[in-house]
Amino acid sequence: MATSERLVITSTINGEERTFLADSRDSLLEALRERLNLKGVKEGCNNGNCGACAVILDGRLVNSCCVMAAEIEGSTVRTVEGLATPEGLAPLQQCFLEEAALQCGICTPGFLMSSTALLAENPAPTDDEVRFWLAGNLCRCTGYDKIILAVQAAAEQMRTLKK
């Protein structure tokens, strides 16, 4: 008879060490939403196609529906909740608002995390590079153009901030 187990997991979530209970059958998506109440992480397809649940795990973009919660023991996870600071929204979040790069918004946390990972690796991407990088995130509302504009606007702001 198949069983699952209760696990105590310790990892760094959005810069803070957290210890939480999870079930060994939980995906990272389920643990983030149900155990840690991080509801910014969205369930879209739950099979790795849509990118709505994308988070940054140990510096790499992953779909949290395709990671087991038990795997993140000792790891570092960043979700959309970790983007803004007490001073305000991150440049990507602000630019998504200003460029109207969202309508219904369910894909937005995934796009923000994918874009965050992109700009960390490539601060000055071409439009083609943005599109290639974001190909694993699906959006039914925007038609994508405004998302590309928002990412490029944020990239420019972030480059200026660095100077």
Partner 1 sequence: MQALRYARATSIDEAVRMLREGGETSRILAGGTDVIVQARERRRVIDLFVDIKHISDVMTMEYDAQRGLTVGAAVPLYQIYGDANVQRVYPALRAAAHVIGGKAIQGRASLGGNLGNASPAADSIPAMMVLDGVAQVAGPNGRREVRVDAFCTAPGRSVLQPGEFIVSLHFAQPAAHSGNAWERFIPRNEMDIAVVNAACALTIEGDVVTAARFSLGAVAATPLMVPLAAEALVGRRLTDETIAAAGAAAKETATPIDDMRGTVKQRKHLADVLVQRVIRAAVEHARAN
Question: Distances from the Cα of 106 to the Cαs of 45, 73, 109, 118, 139, in angstroms?
Answer: 12, 28, 7, 20, 8
- When the beta carbons of 14 and 46 are compared against partner 1, the nearer one is 46
Spatial contact of 79 and 113, defined as CB atoms under 8 Å apart: yes
- For residue 139, give Cα distances in angstroms to 20, 103, 115, 144: 32, 9, 14, 7
- Strand duo 76-78 + 6-13: pairing: parallel
Alpha-carbon distance of 107 to 41, in angstroms, equals 9
The residue ranges that bind partner 1 (CB under 8 A) are 2-5, 7, 24-27, 30, 46-48, 51, 54, 57, 60-63, 65-68, 70-71, 73, 114, 117-118, 132-137
- In this complex, which beta carbon is closest to partner 1, that of residue 3 or of residue 19? 3
Q: Which is nearer to partner 1, 54 or 150 (CB)?
A: 54
Question: Min. distance of Cβ 114 from partner 1 in angstroms?
Answer: 7
Nearer to partner 1, 66 or 158 (CB): 66
Structure tokens at 144: 């994508």
Minimum CB distance to partner 1, residue 48 (Å): 6
* Least distance from partner 1 to the Cβ atom of residue 88, Å: 27
Q: How far is the CB of 83 from partner 1 (least distance, A)?
A: 17
